[in-house]
Amino acid sequence: MKPNISNNLVWHHATVTRERRETLNGHRSVMLWFTGLSGAGKSTLAHAVEEHLHQNGCRTFTFDGDNVRHGLCSDLGFSPQDRVENIRRVGEMAKLFLEAGVIALTAFISPFRADREKVRSLVPHGEFLEIYCSCSLEICEGRDIKGLYKRARAGEIKNFTGISSPYEVPQDPDLVVDTGGLSLEASVTKVVQLLRERGVIETDGIDQ
């Protein structure tokens, strides 16, 4: 249920617009939404893409799933309802960064298609780029960087995506990156190429 909003609230239109910020930055702002299983390499890829863009003069910020849960979403658990709210908050925050003229990168499992589509609906068409980090459960579980799969298999973690909670694979993502097989460098190249193709960054402005 949507909360009541006071009739006394009026949206304030700033004189410094998103378009002016984008012109100053020399690139468009966009939301890159990295989704996939735990251990699929979402955070690794997002931060590597950000590093590449930053070194080439782009204004960027990465929202990492674990980091956000230390602050903005520290009051949320991992129930289906809390997962929905977690993604809603992140989507609204990333939308503000788009207004700031920033390339906003997010790395969240975001297991439910409906939640990802709600975030997509927050921004104009083409400004939400869904990047599916495709990696088999076997590879993700084999990496088990944080030991989470082992604990989930032992029943110590409830509602764990891929084990006791479903992951809904994107049906029509803007990009699929085989993070289970491609090198990190090759994966970054695919994402940067997508940004060029969509006109977010200039072809000649970013190193090949």
Catalytic residues: 110
- The tokens of 183 are what? 């090198």
Length of the chain: 208
20 Cβ neighbours under 8 A, 6+ residues apart: none
Instruction: Give yes or no for a contact between 179 and 187, defined as CB atoms under 8 angstroms apart.
Output: yes
Calculate the dihedral angle through the C-alpha atoms of 117, 87, 67, 78, rounding to the nearest 10 degrees.
-130
Residue 29 CA to residue 26 CA, distance in Å, equals 10
**3-state secondary structure at position 201:** coil
The conformation of residue 38, written as its DSSP 8-state character, comes to: T
The amino acid occupying position 153 is: R
